[in-house]
Amino acid sequence: MGHVFGRSSAQLPRAVRGEGCYIHDAEGRAYLDGSGGAAVSCLGHSDPDVRAAIHAQLDQLAFAHTGFFTSEAAESLADLLIEHAPEGIDRVYLLSGGSESVEAAIKLARQYFLETGQPQRHRVIARRQSYHGNTLGALAAGGNAWRREKYAPLLVETSHIAPCYEYRLREEGESAEAYGLRAADELEAEIQRLGAESVMAFIAEPVVGATAGAVPAVEGYFKRIREICDRHGVLLILDEVMCGMGRTGTLFACEQDGISPDIVTIAKGLGAGYMPIGAMLCTAAIYDAIAQGSGAFQHGHTYHGHPLAAAAGRAVLTAILGRNLLPQVRARGDYLQTTLTETLGQHPHVGDIRGRGLFRGIELVADRDSKSPFDPALKINAKVKRFAMDEGLICYPAGGTLDGKHGDHVLLAPPFIISEDQVGELVGKLSRAIDRAIAA
Ligand code: PLP
């Protein structure tokens, strides 16, 4: 590791080459990328079109500061995104990653209300079991206890309501529809408790990723959320940093929930690992209020709108659309769900297998009937990660699924180009890693 200040002090293999669905290390071992890192590598590694687009952009223009210039790469990426964005979304602000995009979304919401004469609106409501990034504003919005804990005194106060988490929170005998409405109505109760005039935005991941393991909302939940936001003049921010860009089988995950947000963030799949890029997209109403008000969104980063990143993002999006990958994500995603269910569906320590498209989660439990979690001291998720690497599989296990402290899940988000054989390889390796982790 030398002087690299990494995520942990543990010795990690050194990655030297990526090709298709595999990463190779310096020792010559190949790892099947079953999680795209963290839902990043949607096109797999070493895609020739994206590499060519980056090279071509580098030969022309690497950087021009956005305080002075726009660029063809940024403009054409924004146009392409808007052409395929949820209804009403009309403007794109390019950034360098997910946390930056969420920070920008929160600040844009605040400035919108300042410009429209509602300066008292400043509160954000979010959900427990959510992750919106590691910078302080995004971390404050997130509801994951262990990520927040050490930095609690630095975090702006945020309200957190329950997520829509059918496996855990739907009551015995309650229909999915009734549960979805009950869960959504928590938002209305919280808005009323805080006083609607003080609430600025509600932020949520349409399919919860890192903190819960690919948990989609039940049908009807987000429609009710949309109605509640509209009724109280609260902006709806959807964080699609992980679940967007085709990961769930539609370009934007919210398409499947039948709603459009006021602001939406994307990142991981947009750069697909080739360049750091994120984006915040908003409606014309928000943009116009600022354009016709003070004239400028008071924000910015040195590297936002970077031409190389924009060229990579445009090539990735062109590949997703042009190669017709969305139907493939849906078909391979169904195949992955079926294979997981056949292999692990009756496993005594697998409580739930869920998700959409090539975004799947497996919740591990100590006991299937009571759904009781493993003792966190057993560090089941860390063991699954270690044994999976030993089997030659990259997956994304995490803990704190249930309440930020208890509960283990494994998140899967393989490249959209994964074959059926590779799905079989993934599930076989994962199943062995789970068994080894539990036996250890
Ligand atoms: N939002 C969501 C939903 C995420 O999953 C993540 C990262 O996992 C982020 C925001 C933060 O993105 P980044 O790590 O690029 O800052």
DSSP 73-98: HHHHHHHHHHHTSPTTEEEEEEESSH
Q: Which residue's CA lies nearest to atom 7 of ligand 1?
A: 133
- pLDDT by residue (tens digit) across 334-375? 999 999 999 999 999 999 999 999 999 999 999 999 999 999
Residue 156: DSSP 8-state: P
Give dist(CA 187, CA 92) in Å, integer. 27
Q: Are strands 123-127 and 159-161 parallel, antiparallel or unpaired?
A: parallel
- Ligand 1 atom at minimal distance to the Cα of residue 102: 10
CA–centroid distance, residue 38 to ligand 1 (Å): 9
Classify 312 as helix, strand or coil. helix
Distance 135 CA to ligand 1 centre (A): 10
Please, what is the average pLDDT of the chain?
A: 97
Closest-CA residue to 108 (of 277, 296, 261, 271): 296
Atom in ligand 1 nearest the alpha carbon of residue 135: 16
Whole-angstrom distance, CA of residue 231 vs CA of residue 187: 12
Distance 98 CA to ligand 1 centre (A): 4
240 Cα nearest atom in ligand 1: 3
CA of 319 to the centre of ligand 1 (A): 23
In this structure, which residue's CA is closest to atom 15 in ligand 1?
A: 98
Spatial distance between the Cα atoms of 93 and 265, rounded to a whole number of angstroms: 10
CA angle 215, 220, 223 (to 5 degrees): 105
Amino acid letter, 43: L
Does residue 233 come out as left (phi exceeding 0), alpha (psi in the -120 to 50 range) or beta?
Answer: left
Q: Would the ipTM clear 0.95, i.e. be above it?
A: yes
| Cross-strand partners of 421 | none
Distance CA 189, CA 202 (A): 13
Structure tokens at 60: 């022309």
All residues at 6 or more sequence positions from 200 whose CB lies less than 8 Å from its CB, including other chains: 109, 110, 113, 121, 122, 123, 124, 234, 235
Task: Judge whether 411 and 213 are in contact, CB under 8 Å.
Answer: yes
Provide the 10 A C-beta neighbour count for residue 115. Answer: 19
Strands 359-364 vs 350-356: parallel, antiparallel or unpaired: antiparallel
Q: Give the alpha-carbon dihedral of 268, 272, 273, 277, to 10 degrees.
A: -50
Residue 175 Cα to ligand 1 midpoint, Å, equals 32
Ligand 1 cavity residues, CB under 6 Å: 38, 97-99, 102, 131-133, 205, 209-210, 239, 241-242, 267
Q: Ligand 1 centre from 237 Cα, in Å?
A: 14
How many CB atoms sit inside 10 A of residue 130's CB?
Answer: 22
Task: For residue range 250-273, list pLDDT tens digits in order.
Answer: 999 999 999 999 999 999 999 999
Protein residue whose Cα sits closest to atom 13 of ligand 1: 98
Distance 440 CA to ligand 1 centre (A): 31
- pLDDT (mean) for 94-103: 98
Mutate to test the pocket of ligand 1, among 132, 248, 263 (most ligand atoms within 8 A of CB): 132
How close is the Cα of 202 to the center of ligand 1, in Å?
Answer: 17
- How much distance in Å is there from the Cα of 439 to the middle of ligand 1? 32
Quick: pLDDT tens for 307-340.
999 999 999 999 999 999 999 999 999 999 999 9
**Which pair of structure tokens corresponds to residue 70?**
């726009």
Q: Whose CA is nearest to atom 9 of ligand 1?
A: 133
pLDDT at 10: 74
DSSP-derived 3-state class of residue 109: helix
* Contact predicate 375/326, CB 8 Å: no
- Residue 163 in contact with residue 228, Cβ under 8 Å? no
φ/ψ of 248, rounded to 5, equals: -95, 5
| Residues in the chain, total | 440
What is the 194 CA–ligand 1 centroid distance (Å)? 27
Residue 216 has pLDDT above 70, yes or no: yes
Give the distance (Å) from ligand 1 centre to CA of residue 278.
Answer: 10
Q: Which residues contact 147 (CB under 8 A, 6 or more apart)?
A: 131, 134, 139, 211, 404
**Looking at residue 1, what is its pLDDT?**
64
DSSP 321-371: HHTTHHHHHHHHHHHHHHHHHHHHTT-TTEEEEEEETTEEEEEE-S-TTT-
Tell me which residue has its CA closest to atom 12 in ligand 1.
98
The closest alpha carbon to 38, from 96, 94, 98, belongs to: 98
Q: By alpha-carbon position, which residue is closest to atom 1 of ligand 1?
A: 132
What atom in ligand 1 is closest to the CA of residue 210?
5
* pLDDT, tens only, 20-32: 999 999 999 999 9
Residue 2: which pLDDT band, with cuts at 50, 70 and 90? confident
The yes-or-no verdict on residue 7 having pLDDT over 90 is no
CA distance 97 to 74: 15
User: How far, in Å, CA of 291 to CA of 286, rounded?
Assistant: 9
Q: What is the pLDDT of residues 37-47, one digit of tens each?
A: 999 999 999 99
**What one-letter code names the amino acid at 6?**
G
| DSSP three-state, residue 44 | coil
**Nearest CA residue ID for atom 14, ligand 1:** 98
pLDDT band at 4 (very low <50, low <70, confident <90, very high): confident
The percent of residues above 90 in pLDDT, for the chain, comes to 96
Q: How far is the CA of 421 from the centre of ligand 1 (A)?
A: 30
Say if residues 409 and 363 touch (Cβ distance below 8 Å): yes
Atom in ligand 1 nearest the alpha carbon of residue 276: 15
Answer whether 365's CB lies under 8 Å from 409's CB: no
- Ligand 1 atom nearest residue 138's Cα: 10
Backbone angles phi, psi at 302, to 5 degrees: -55, -40
The whole-number pLDDT of residue 11 equals 85
309 contacts 301 by C-beta, under 8 angstroms: no
Atom of ligand 1 nearest to the CA of 268: 15
428, pLDDT greater than 90? yes
* Residue 136, both tokens: 């302080």
